[in-house]
Amino acid sequence: MKARGRRSLSNLVGAVILIAATVVGGLFVYSYFQRSVGAFMSLGSTVSVVGTDEPINSTSSIVYLKIVNNEQTSIQVTGIFLVNSTGKYNINLAQPLVIQPGSEASMVRVVPGTYSEVYVAYNVSGATYYTQPTSLG
């Protein structure tokens, strides 16, 4: 005998609703992570540094550097680091170097030793970021 007055969805309709809800939820999660990863990957890529290291004698060299700011806001360069096989050397800045959006700053320094890579620490809106190490060519 059939029970009267009892109505329910068939198993097929329930499965379709469950699959649809899962797909919609998955799209929300995918969208969130795509935005998060995109924002994370762009950090540090809009500020670049290039330079050369020319030895002047057996104990020191001249370093030519150019820092380019392609951020949408000004940056404060707080540290410039030269790297070689024995460690790193910090170029002292008397005060943070402010670079406006779309601008660049150049510098020439005599430093002890020779170096193979350079990277920069900079502040944007109170947060500190680092550029990727770049070869000194």
Question: What region does 128 belong to: left with phi over 0, alpha with psi -120 to 50, or beta?
Answer: beta
CA-CA distance, 65 to 70, in Å (whole number)? 16
Do 86 and 108 lie in one domain? The reply is yes
Kindly report the average pLDDT of the chain as a whole number: 87
Tell me the sheet residues that pair with 40: none
Whether the predicted pLDDT of 86 surpasses 80:
yes
Polymer length in residues for the chain: 137
Do 35 and 93 lie in one domain? The reply is no
Do 16 and 81 lie in one domain? The reply is no
Do 102 and 51 lie in one domain? The reply is yes
pLDDT in tens, 55-65: 999 899 999 99
CA-CA distance, 105 to 67, in Å (whole number)? 5
Whether the predicted pLDDT of 28 surpasses 90:
no
Q: Domain tally for the chain?
A: 2
pTM of the model: 0.65
Q: Which residue has the tokens 């762009």?
A: 42
CA-CA distance, 48 to 129, in Å (whole number)? 12
